[in-house]
Amino acid sequence: MSDSATDNGDGTRQGSGFPPGDGTRAVRAGLPEPVKHEPTLPGPVFAAHFHLPGEATGPYTYGRDENPTWTLLERAIGELEAPGRDGVETLVFASGMAAISSVLFSQLRAGDAVVLPSDGYQVFPLVRAQLEAYGVEVRTAPTGGDAQLQVLDGAKLLWIETPSNPGLDVCDVRRLAEAAHAQGTLVAVDNTLATPLGQRPLDLGADFSVASGTKQLTGHGDILLGYVTGRDTEAMAAVRRWRKIVGAIPGPMEAWLAHRSIATLQLRVDRQNATALILAQALRERPEVTGLRHPGLPDDPSHKIASQQMRRYGCVISFTLPTRARADRFLEALRLVDDATSFGGVRSTAERRGRWGGDAVPEGFIRLSVGAEDPEDLVADVLRALDESAD
Ligand SMILES: Cc1ncc(COP(=O)(O)O)c(C=O)c1O
């Protein structure tokens, strides 16, 4: 993994404290300067409008445009997505889809071409149909193998999701961004699965890092949130305008909960991701498990590129059981893993992805999101459920 930290191998780091480590950055991200008698993280500001005598100037005028609780959260996410970079802006949204749509629909016009993943998040076919209805030419390419290069010619925007959900394929962001920029194409990366502690798309050359904050970023399965971090001032102005027009804004309570949750991001990510690798290694020994994927497994098809551009490999693993019935029995036998969609939370979840009908996966395909349980408990539960679900 390409991590600049000098790791002692026992969970501690060497160094002067500068640049600070991920845990330090996460607990302090976006905090205001301390003010006597004020809380460390000011509480949520519930306001539809703000006092505004005289000229209608910012920063806070109307609650659909700006909110002080968003400002602190946007600063926090920006510090994690693009530490030390000037001119980068972050905008928060009501959900990951609101953030994704804000980039696509603010940047693309009738007659433009866009490249989307053919194996990305399952709402993309709906997005595709909407873009086509507006006269945008949509081309698709699978995530693995940098196949996007074949369909890039003349596109206005390249959209990549790496690692992809649920297949966990990875593409070479640096290589794709270089090729895209050589012909004036903007690049957006869905950074949901990796989180900003796992991957920093702007450092790899992307123009936008876009994510669902519903998943591991906030990690408790209790809020929906999205964000866009971008470095192109004009493009981000259009994204901001889109948020104002559509009004897909997070509530102050959600924004505050998200900020509070980011303080434990490094702890959660390191625990969950380490257990995901342990579980993947245990599953590898099982004859009924095929198609096992996790970018952290040294022999995974994604591992080589992932190790060059990711600092952590995520908490999601995927694999296939022989039949749909076997997969259903397995899910039912699990005690520490909830049968639920979504991923990234502190409580493990798993689902038979084929039940939605939107992903090109086998009937027995399972996506499992590893939580913060003790690794030995979780591995024992999964292996027991495999035994109990056998024919
Ligand atoms: C990779 C990815 N991007 C975006 C989204 C959409 O996020 P949200 O559900 O917060 O709208 C999801 C949701 O599962 C996702 O997995």
- pLDDT tens for 321-356 read 999 999 999 999 999 999 999 999 999 999 999 999
* C-beta separation of 44 from 73 below 8 A: no
Model's pTM, two decimal places? 0.96
How many CA atoms does the CB half-sphere of 314 hold within 13 Å? Answer: 34
Indicate the residue type of 379: V
Counting other chains too, the contacts that 335-340 makes at CB distance below 8 Å and 24 or more residues apart are: 335/381, 335/385, 336/373, 336/377, 336/378, 336/381, 337/368, 337/371, 337/378, 337/381, 337/382, 337/385, 340/221
Confidence (pLDDT) at 15: 63
Confidence (pLDDT) at 51: 98
Confidence (pLDDT) at 272: 98
CA distance 202 to 189: 9
Distance in Å, CA 317 to ligand 1 centroid: 16
What count of other Cβ atoms lies within 10 Å of the Cβ of residue 266? 20
CA distance 71 to 230: 15
For 9, the 3-state DSSP assignment is coil
CA distance 364 to 322: 6
What count of other Cβ atoms lies within 10 Å of the Cβ of residue 126? 11
Q: What is the mean pLDDT of the chain?
A: 95
List ligand 1's pocket residues with C-beta within 6 A.
95-97, 100, 121, 161, 165, 190, 192-193, 212, 214, 224, 226, 342
Confidence (pLDDT) at 6: 53
| Residue ranges in the chain whose pLDDT is less than 70 | 1-16
- The torsion angles phi and psi of 90, rounded to 5 degrees, stand at -120, 135
Phi/psi region, residue 247 (left: phi>0; alpha: psi -120 to 50; beta: rest), is: left
Tell me the pLDDT tens digit for each residue of 103-142: 999 999 999 999 999 999 999 999 999 999 999 999 999 9
| Best probe residue, ligand 1, of 101, 126, 192 (max atoms within 8 Å of C-beta) | 192
Confidence (pLDDT) at 138: 98
Which residues is 137 bridged to in the sheet? 113
pLDDT cut 70: percent of the chain above it: 96
CA distance 16 to 273: 27
Indicate the residue type of 234: E
Distance in Å, CA 121 to ligand 1 centroid: 7
* C-beta separation of 190 from 69 below 8 A: no
Which residues is 208 bridged to in the sheet? 188, 230
Residues 6+ apart with CB under 8 A from 376: none
Structure tokens at 224: 């929906």
Structure tokens at 310: 């990711």
Confidence (pLDDT) at 236: 98
| Best probe residue, ligand 1, of 162, 190, 215 (max atoms within 8 Å of C-beta) | 215
Confidence (pLDDT) at 19: 85
Distance in Å, CA 146 to ligand 1 centroid: 22
Confidence (pLDDT) at 4: 42
User: Could you tell me the domains of the chain?
Assistant: 21-262 (3.40.640.10), 267-388 (3.90.1150.10)
Q: What is the largest CA-CA distance in the chain?
A: 75
| The ligand 1 atom nearest the CA atom of 164 | 1
| Best probe residue, ligand 1, of 121, 170, 342 (max atoms within 8 Å of C-beta) | 121
Distance in Å, CA 192 to ligand 1 centroid: 7
pLDDT cut 90: percent of the chain above it: 94
Give the residue among 209, 223, 220 at the shortest CA–CA distance from 255. Answer: 223
